[in-house]
Chain A
Amino acid sequence: GQSLEQPSEVTAVEGAIVQINCTYQTSGFYGLSWYQQHDGGAPTFLSYNALDGLEETGRFSSFLSRSDSYGYLLLQELQMKDSASYFCAAGNNRKLIWGLGTSLAVNP
């Protein structure tokens, strides 16, 4: 079957670095995406990795290893506003397969 696994909850403090891991099992894999969703809000697109390696966008970076079917989202210099749910999603040529989400709590 097709599935993604990511931790259900992560807690960190302001200013710290946190890594959210994602392993996937998807046929016809194109790339791995990350989305952020605040309570009551819609998911918003953060990043997409199609090739192995690290992509950096400001405080957020995303990594992919296709050989390991693994990726992670790295959040640096955490701020209170980063408290949200983070979803990884694996894309094929028809749709995204979604993980269940990781709830990140950033404490002062």
Chain B
Amino acid sequence: DVKVTQSSRYLVKRTGEKVFLECVQDMDHENMFWYRQDPGLGLRLIYFSYDVKMKEKGDIPEGYSVSREKKERFSLILESASTNQTSMYLCASSITPTGKYGYTFGSGTRLTVV
């Protein structure tokens, strides 16, 4: 069964901490995405990557950075966590960004910044 694995299901971090969220996929997909999901706001794209070492800003990149050193791993970094970054973070991967074969999502990381 194809999988996208996010390293943590729940995280609690303090304001100002540097936070790393890890995502690994085993499908050899070139495209990977980081979203955050908040009630009533749907899925908002933070960053995406279409190849190793390549990255593009999504709709809400402020306060975040990403790293993709290997094809299977896409990391989201909160440089200095703030309370407004408390959210559900979802990683996804896909064969093509168009959606033709679907995006496969990880189970999500619920991050609380206190």
A residues with CB within 8 A of B: 30-31, 33, 35, 41-45, 48, 50, 87, 89, 91-96, 98-101
Q: Contacts A94-B97, A95-B58 known; A33 to B108 CB distance under 8 Å?
A: no
Q: A2: shortest Cβ distance to chain B, in Å?
A: 10
Q: Are B42 and A96 in contact (CB under 8 A)?
A: no
B105 partner, pick from A31, A42, A100, beta carbons under 8 A: A42
A87 partner, pick from B42, B104, B108, beta carbons under 8 A: B42
Which residues 70-114 in B have Cβ within 8 Å of A in the complex?
90, 92, 97-108
Question: What is the bound-complex CA distance between A98 and B58, given in angstroms?
Answer: 12
- In this complex, the interface size class of chain B, counting residues with CB under 8 Å from chain A, is 20 to 34
Q: Are A31 and B90 in contact (CB under 8 A)?
A: no
Q: Contacts A42-B106, A94-B56, A95-B58 known; A87 to B99 CB distance under 8 Å?
A: no
Which secondary structure dominates where chain B touches chain A? Answer: loop
Contact residues in A for B108 (Cβ distance below 8 Å) = 42
A95 partner, pick from B33, B42, B100, beta carbons under 8 A: B33
Contact residues in B for A99 (Cβ distance below 8 Å) = 42
Task: Rank and list the top 6 A-B pairs by shortest CB-CB distance, nearest first.
Answer: A45-B102, A91-B99, A42-B105, A91-B98, A30-B98, A33-B99
Extra contacts, 8 of them, besides A42-B107, A95-B58 (Cβ < 8 A), are A30-B100, A45-B103, A48-B100, A48-B102, A95-B33, A95-B97, A98-B42, A100-B42
Q: Are A92 and B105 in contact (CB under 8 A)?
A: no
Which residues 44-79 in B have Cβ within 8 Å of A in the complex?
45, 48, 50, 56, 58
Q: Are B97 and A96 in contact (CB under 8 A)?
A: yes
Contact residues in B for A42 (Cβ distance below 8 Å) = 90, 105-108
For B43, B99, B106, B107, the residue with the greatest tally of chain A CB atoms inside 10 Å of its CB is: B99
Question: What is the bound-complex CA distance between A79 and B17, given in angstroms?
Answer: 45
Question: What is the bound-complex CA distance between A99 and B33, given in angstroms?
Answer: 17
